[in-house]
Amino acid sequence: MRPRPALRSGCLLAFALALAACGKGGQPQAGAGGGPGGGQGDRPIPVTAEPVRLRAWNDTVQALGNVKARESVTVTAKVSEIVQSVHFDSGDHVAAGQSLVTLSGKAQLAALAQAEATAKEAEQLYQRQTELAAQQLIARSALDTQRATRDATRARVEQMKADIGDRQVRAPFAGVLGIRQVSPGALVTPGTPIATLDDTERVYIDFPVPETLLARVAKGQDVTGTSAAYAGKEFHGSVGTVDARVDPTTRAVTVRADFANPGHLLRPGMLVQVTLIQPERQALLVPEISVVQVGNDSYVYRLKPDATVERADVQVGSRRQGLAEILDGLAVGDTIVVDGTGKLRAGSKVQAAGAPAREAGAPSGAAKDGRNG
């Protein structure tokens, strides 16, 4: 049992050496810490910067609009009759005047033949009486009566032809047909839907604009539209009509834009996100990522001549395509931090890349190179 004290002494010595080593390694060294007053605070923080400049800018008005065909109708029959034949399939493109449905008309054809025979007989009788009247063998009043009879029979023929024409249901304009609603043998009456017909070579998109923005809307302005059905595709049109009335309930006016529709992609009833583009103007623009948003406060970090940054509170206008319009707080020529704002505080020393070598108004490619680098 004598070796135990020696073993205990060896363990205590090893433990003491370990504590000494830990104490030495955990002691802070001057100038190496990251806290205040340490060397990290004196080392410049690498950032990307670029000067503020004026650029071309278009204000926009955005709204949701509904697609409407340029011409749209539900094809129906004028008379009550049995469908004899159908000359189209669902989804067909048809020309103006093309026959779509033929209704049974045997009785009308027979009546037409009778009317034509009566008209022919009345014409012959009128010609004979004309010769007799020229020889003064009959009274002039008798000739006038026969003339009226002849004209009445002619009108009857035209009436029967029109009646038979109503048995042919035709397309009132060129367009694309919807789903067929009738079959041969079906009884149709006035108002029975046969199919829808839409002219979608060009389409209208109606969208509301608040009355407060009415002064910014004018005929001919460019409009773009996007649909969830065609991700990434943009449709282009222009304002065709601004409604003459403002809706007293919504306090908005309906604007109708005219769109080309290649491929008939836009269909009546679709919902489209519409952007109304205002006339171009010059605006103070910065990359949107340079704006720091904390609650209701917006600010950027502006470079000072001594390579430090200061906080500049800004008023931000519209944002689009990665750019933000600055309404107040910056001036042309100021240099701001674009990338690296998350590591900064007011007074931080920075090492800026891609910055003040450019003049205000120079192309922004240098700033982009700096960000990519």
Question: What is the pLDDT averaged over residues 257-264?
Answer: 92
Question: What is the pLDDT averaged over residues 208-214?
Answer: 91
**248 vs 25, more confident:** 248
Same domain, 273 and 337: no
pLDDT higher than 50, residue 33: no
Q: Provide the pLDDT for residue 354.
A: 64
Same domain, 65 and 206: yes
What is the rounded end-to-end Cα distance, in angstroms, of the chain?
A: 72
Q: What's the structural domain count of the chain? A: 3
Q: Provide the pLDDT for residue 24.
A: 43
pLDDT higher than 90, residue 13: no
**147 vs 21, more confident:** 147
CATH code for the domain in which residue 343 is found: 2.40.420.20
CA dist list (Å): 42 to 300, 308, 349, 351: 22, 11, 7, 12
Residue 258 lies in a domain: yes
Residue 148 lies in a domain: yes
Same domain, 274 and 300: no
Closest Cα partner for 347 from 42, 52, 30? 42
Average pLDDT across the chain, whole number: 82
pLDDT higher than 90, residue 323: no
Listed range (186-190, 227-231, 280-284) with the worst mean pLDDT: 280-284
Whether this model's pTM surpasses 0.75: no
Residue 186 lies in a domain: no
Q: Provide the pLDDT for residue 142.
A: 86
Return the number of other C-beta atoms located less than 10 Å from residue 287's C-beta: 19
Place of tokens 């001549």: 305
* Residue numbers of the domain that contains 126: 105-166
Give the residue from 166, 183, 214 where a domain finishes: 166
Give the residue from 147, 166, 185 where a domain finishes: 166
Same domain, 295 and 270: no
Question: What is the pLDDT averaged over residues 16-29?
Answer: 47
**83 vs 22, more confident:** 83
pLDDT per residue over 152-209, tens digit each?
Answer: 989 988 888 887 878 889 999 999 999 999 999 999 999 899 999 999 999 999 999 9
CA dist list (Å): 298 to 174, 197, 251, 339, 349: 56, 53, 31, 16, 21
Q: Provide the pLDDT for residue 9.
A: 53
Hey, which residues does 242 pair with through a beta bridge? 255
Listed range (111-115, 152-156, 209-213) with the worst mean pLDDT: 111-115
State which H helix or E strand residue 303 sits in.
strand 297-303
Residue 178 lies in a domain: no
pLDDT higher than 60, residue 104: yes
Q: Provide the pLDDT for residue 193.
A: 95
Residue 5 lies in a domain: no
Residue 190 lies in a domain: no
pLDDT per residue over 45-82, tens digit each?
Answer: 888 888 888 888 877 888 999 999 999 999 999 988 89
Same domain, 303 and 263: no
Same domain, 342 and 290: yes
Q: Which of 118-127 are b and which e, b meaning 16 or more Cβ less than 10 Å from the residue's Cβ?
A: bbeebeeebe
CATH code for the domain in which residue 158 is found: 1.10.287.470
Give the residue from 256, 281, 306 where a domain finishes: 281
Find the radius of gyration of the CA atoms of the chain. Answer: 43
